[in-house]
């Protein structure tokens, strides 16, 4: 009976892992997500983000699959204040969240990273973001 239970659990574990791409720790996607987060000014993020941010960065660096990155991407977006995002984002956000939650590959998740970046107003980002943005977009597109 124990062998069957262990075998069944092992099979379930493989099914869960097979459902999402594995990523190397400190993946390129994670680096790009952190780069985007650092482009957002403090006053454009929620107050509680200051307490959570360091641990979040460590989790992004340690994340080794798309499922973990989905949650971290969603958490980051939730910490951006509404007034730091374009007004149409309120209508687009639910669809974006569904797309994030359905992402099974790094390529699919990269598309959602570009979408959330486009929701953030330039004035809510650091002054050097405009000059860095195209290179960042090119790097994200390379993941697709």
Q: What pTM, to 2 d.p., does this model score?
A: 0.84
Query: Is 5 buried (19+), middle (13-18) or exposed (0-12) by CB count in 10 A?
Result: exposed
Q: For residues 49 and 66, give the distance between their C-alpha atoms in angstroms, rounded to a whole number.
A: 22
pLDDT digits (tens, 9 = 90+) for 74-113: 999 999 999 999 999 999 999 999 999 999 999 999 999 9
pLDDT digits (tens, 9 = 90+) for 21-50: 777 656 899 999 999 999 999 999 999 999
Per-residue tokens: 66: 């798309």
Bridge partners of 120? 85
| Residue in this structure with the two tokens 């390129």, named with its chain if needed | 28
Q: For residues 137 and 83, give the distance between their C-alpha atoms in angstroms, rounded to a whole number.
A: 23
Q: For residues 8 and 17, give the distance between their C-alpha atoms in angstroms, rounded to a whole number.
A: 14
pLDDT digits (tens, 9 = 90+) for 60-78: 999 999 999 999 999 999 9
């Amino acid at each position: 009976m124990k062998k069957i239970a262990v075998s069944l659990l092992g099979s379930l574990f493989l099914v869960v892992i097979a459902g999402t791409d594995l990523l190397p720790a400190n993946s390129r996607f994670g680096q790009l997500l952190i780069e985007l987060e650092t482009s957002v000014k403090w006053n454009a993020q929620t107050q509680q983000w200051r307490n959570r941010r360091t641990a979040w960065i460590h989790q992004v660096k340690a994340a080794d699959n798309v499922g973990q990155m989905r949650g971290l991407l969603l958490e980051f977006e939730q910490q951006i204040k509404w007034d730091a995002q374009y007004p149409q984002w309120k209508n687009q956000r639910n669809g974006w969240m569904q797309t994030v939650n359905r992402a099974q590959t790094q390529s699919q998740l990269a598309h959602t990273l570009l979408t959330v970046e486009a929701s953030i107003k330039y004035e809510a980002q650091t002054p050097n973001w405009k000059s860095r943005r195209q290179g960042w977009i090119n790097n994200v597109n390379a993941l697709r």
